[in-house]
Amino acid sequence: MSYDPPRPAGRLLLTPEDKDAPARVRRLRRLGLGERAEPVLDAFADRLAEVAAVPYSMVNFIDENRQFFAGLHTPDGNLSVDRPIPAAVADGTDGNAPGVGRYMARDYGFCPYVVVRRRALVLEDVCDYPRFAGNPVVDEIGVRSYLGAPLIDHTGIALGTVCVVDLEPRPWGRAGLEAIKSMAAELVEQLEQREGGGGF
């Protein structure tokens, strides 16, 4: 028998008000980010997954309504199917649309919290944290462990996150935290090269 704790009316506590969203969207557009998948960001997500030894990793850009995984690593490497995000979770795509599986509603997952909080988030076992254990990704996708850091550029805007996810509890420790923060800083440097016409 399972017990579903009551949830507050409206948005989950996990998804705090995001006052910076309009400025973030303008900045992402200026950098040409957040609207299409990019091989270089998929490769970065692959590296993240390798470093952390996890099945899933993402480079995630967030607007007012949804999250977009511009970089995505899945266990089987098949990025055209609706994984790791079930269709019921995806927002704004249909089963025939390119990039299915790269969109997720803002109320799902932990990256929106990281962006608003502007700090890394370490959840070795999501179920140990009542504030996060009730998030839909826990029951619908099976997420048990999360490690993410914000991508904060020189303007002070948090563009999104880099994160790794496992379906089992993981002892990330200080080494994991430092690694994800270091990789976030590395990616921000690469992203900022796009300004003024520079590429990666």
The domain ranges of the chain are 21-197
**Rounded percentage of the chain residues whose pLDDT exceeds 90:** 62
In angstroms, the CA 110 to CA 92 distance is 19
**Which residue, 9, 17, 18, 75, is CA-closest to 46?**
75
The tens digit of pLDDT for each residue in 84-126 reads: 444 434 443 433 333 337 899 888 889 999 999 999 999 999 9
CATH fold of 21-197 reads: Beta-Lactamase (3.30.450)
Are 45 and 187 within 8 A, CB to CB? Answer: no
**Per-position DSSP letters for 31-52, written without gaps between them:** HT-SSS--HHHHHHHHHHHHHH
**Which residue, 17, 59, 3, is CA-closest to 183?**
59
The tens digit of pLDDT for each residue in 51-80 reads: 999 999 999 999 988 999 999 998 877 654
Question: What's the pTM value of the predicted model, to 2 decimals?
Answer: 0.82
